[in-house]
Structure 1
């Protein structure tokens, strides 16, 4: 036997011994905490589309088989942005209070129930080579796997069409209920933890308040709400006034604004008068200023030429007001509210001296997570959570989900009494 053959044999023997030794640290299987279902936030789900559109003059494809509509970094190139905007636009029918895709556009959500569906918003090689910019909850899922969790068994995703508000989802919440029950059964009848991010916390709270207390007591271990904009966000206000580009400098806000004005959830996530003072003005123009009140918002939309029908439907049909009048009713499960603070965050849009609403506003900032203000994030204090309200200093809106500081807070909760 040659020296190489001896070395290979010894290696095989060592591997066999280690594999059979369950006490060996290298092969030790960790015991996970309770199973997890992750509910993503706004723009946190992969959205596919198929086109069979009437002939158009915008130079975009009218016939196309299933492709990734969101997120697709290749479609973010300046030459492709208009096509993506037109394909994602929605049409609102006031007679039935329904939003639908533009004519000739079909959409579907990719991977419901899988971990992968929330690990990425763009899982293409292009996004990976650009610094893995399509990653979403991937870092959290990887940490869970390192702690004994298993993809699609004990960690799963519940993505949804983030363009439409809760009241317009006809099947999502039933599918979510069935996913929770299935996850419970797959994990030897262990109760499930719901982890939401951003707007997903609004959806999760809505879902939990739809369920009976008996159902929640049987299936839900706890609810971890990350970076939830309980009182709305100025960024969505910017989207429906002047347009919002997520800081991408080569995209014109006026190009994406027509799409953003058709998205129900942009109206859902506007600053909410229940949280803010009646004297708090969010939009300043040469003519007048606007608060978060329903009256002021309607006045503003009429001024900028946006129909008020979608806004009023979304606010009325998705109203969740608890005893305090500020927060939705307590979801009736053990709840944690985790958010970042200490970063400059958009607060007031100042259009004075410009062409309201088509000019770029000057942004007055306030402390928050870089996307949502502290006042909005911390409104969960109305639920009297005590030490289950957790502020992660200097953590960003996405960082609470993706960075080590935020992930460690989540792991403390999941693994503390496994």
Structure 2
């Protein structure tokens, strides 16, 4: 594709193998951590952008056999009750490879994204006679929405944000699915016929891979990864990274991911968080032979199938400790933890790339 301008890098995952494009896809999707600036960037020679910003029409899943997954069904439901794209319904797709920063961290990608999203919200409010905006985020998009709101000046968010609605969000408290993806590979980079192991190096290059690992404060010393020679807890993530052959992840984990677990900042707007419970959710991975390329035995606990209930409850407790939060029995002004069953997935749009 070199020299042919912008093209859909992940627009149709089925085309990747059909055109013998897998090696190019893996290279162009990868990120490079730059310790000099403590930030992530594309590999040299590759530029990327996320299309359709401002519109909700781009939200769909990469798996064509499951077109109802992700945000498409929610978008269609909202449109059925009168919401209109570009009028009262807007989309803010993001680059799922990067993680939103906390104060003191640099993020060239998310600094630009947050500014763009703020302008979009101001325009949405202007179009609707100054009414405040409801910010909705699902799965990883829930964390993006939360960090966006928390990054804005208090006066701005009081003027523009009516409500923050998070559905099955990934949170700084972390969850076991993130650890499993890092160790064994993930099917979130959906390419038909490509195994999670073949895509694992690309996934590990993303800041996303390190962003939601189980935190020490929540998961403590309980064994999360078990082998015949050693157990690894949330306190041992750096040792585990070396053991799985990803020693290059230790520095970005220490400098980028750990600060996210220490930095609680209340969003200072009404928040509703909806999570599922009562579903078998991984809580421990067992590799008896120490072969991290093999499928682990999985020990299950409670959660929504992806996010552990311990993470949800820790986030709920943090939110309730917010001394500036207005208390009310109304669901629109209190933190709500609802027992619904959801299947979270990465809620980002496809990207464009060029060489």
The TM-score with structure 1 as length reference comes to: 0.71
Q: State the match for 1:283 in structure 2.
A: 225
Q: State the match for 1:333 in structure 2.
A: 269
Stretches of 4+ moved more than 6 A in 1? none
The match for 1:207 among 145, 148, 160 is 148
Q: State the match for 1:345 in structure 2.
A: 281
The C-alpha deviation readout for 1:257-289, integer Å capped at 9, x for no partner, is 11111110110111112222x222111112211
Aligned positions, number: 323
C-alpha spacing 1:132/1:397, structure 2 compared with 1 (3 Å): closer
1:279 and 1:184 mapped to 2: Cα distance?
A: 47
C-alpha spacing 1:116/1:248, structure 2 compared with 1 (3 Å): closer
Give SS of 2:194's match.
Answer: coil
Q: State the match for 1:137 in structure 2.
A: 71
C-alpha spacing 1:290/1:232, structure 2 compared with 1 (3 Å): same
1:248 and 1:352 mapped to 2: Cα distance?
A: 29
Report if aligned partners of 2:316, 2:337 keep a CA contact under 8 Å in 1.
no
The match for 1:391 among 330, 338, 341 is 338
Q: State the match for 1:198 in structure 2.
A: 139
Report if aligned partners of 2:281, 2:308 keep a CA contact under 8 Å in 1.
yes
2:191 and 2:116 mapped to 1: Cα distance?
A: 35
Give SS of 1:132's match.
Answer: coil
The C-alpha deviation readout for 1:95-148, integer Å capped at 9, x for no partner, is 22121112332211011111113x3244xxxx65x4526x53122122212222
2:6 and 2:77 mapped to 1: Cα distance?
A: 32
1:113 and 1:64 mapped to 2: Cα distance?
A: 26
Give SS of 1:346's match.
Answer: strand
The TM-score with structure 2 as length reference comes to: 0.83
Report if aligned partners of 1:338, 1:390 keep a CA contact under 8 Å in 2.
yes
Report if aligned partners of 1:70, 1:121 keep a CA contact under 8 Å in 2.
no
Cα deviation, residue 76, structure 1: 5.5
C-alpha spacing 1:105/1:399, structure 2 compared with 1 (3 Å): closer
C-alpha spacing 1:290/1:75, structure 2 compared with 1 (3 Å): farther
Gaps of 5+ in 1: 1-50, 53-62, 322-327, 401-418
2:119 and 2:71 mapped to 1: Cα distance?
A: 22
The match for 1:87 among 5, 28, 35 is 28
The match for 1:292 among 217, 234, 254 is 234
Gaps of 5+ in 2: 102-106, 321-326, 348-355
CA RMSD of aligned residues (A): 2.6
1:379 and 1:136 mapped to 2: Cα distance?
A: 25
1:258-273 → structure 2 map (5 Å cutoff): 258-273=201-216
Give SS of 1:194's match.
Answer: strand
